[in-house]
Amino acid sequence: MLTRKQHELLMFIDKHLRATGFSPSFEEMKEALRLKSKSGIHRLITALEERGFLKRRAHRARALEVVRLPENVAPRRSEAAPAPAGTPQPFSPPPFSPNVIRGHFAPGLAGVQKAANEAGSVALPLYGRIAAGLPIEATRDTAMVDVPAALLGGGEHYALEVAGDSMAEAGILDGDTVIIRRGDTADNGAIVVALVDDQEVTLKRLRRRGNSVALEPANRAYETRIFGPDRVRVQGRLIGLLRRY
């Protein structure tokens, strides 16, 4: 559910906290992840906060708290006597293998949809969670979700569960299920599933600005991200939303 760099930073912060009792500095995090600027660290921390992995303690310097670790990381064990303050252990992140939506979906969805037009509802594949924040990987699950047939038009469709609140001002909330019509094109201003750098998947409003592509949130607390045209591929367009109360 995390990008490689997000995963590495989270594990580094966790190890540093357990070794020293306080969170690492931005400079230490930048060096550990071999990044060129601290702004990259700021974006990673913000992404981890959105996903509920990190929390900042207000009015305290260098006060990050690890709320939880990824599911593929073994539970923390009690450790021997902690190392002296200021001497964090060498960082060695566990193996990481991201999963993304590759854009090749089951060929039989058109037939399923045709049957749904008669039955009144259709079971769409639920491919996983997608960030309405900074990009995360969306994993392909085997779960299905029932969708009213009237909500669907022509073409193939799939569903994704929303994680995050960066599209809240467009009425898309954390935990909602969005219905996506598969496609590799979308009008300017449409809300799309975008694949960034063939690795990260996110739900954002698409804006084309000259030779650049902007992925725009619907929440003033988040920043618009701008990419070159070869870095972003549309994987589908939002056509509907389901919400449970």
Catalytic residue among 39, 114, 166, 212: 166
3-state helix, strand, coil in the chain (%, to 5): 25, 30, 50
3-state secondary structure 144-207: EEEEEHHHCCCCCEEEEEEECCCCHHHCCCCCCEEEEEECCCCCCCCEEEEEECCCEEEEEEEE
> Among 61, 72, 64, 59, which Cα is nearest to 44's?
64
CA 136 → CA 27, 102, 128, distances in Å? 24, 14, 11
166 annotated active-site: yes
CA distance 12 to 88: 9
CA distance 196 to 128: 17
204 annotated active-site: yes
Whether 205 contacts 218, CB under 8 Å: yes
Catalytic residue among 5, 15, 30, 204: 204
CA 202 → CA 27, 54, 72, 111, distances in Å? 28, 20, 22, 28
**Which residues are the active-site residues?**
166, 204
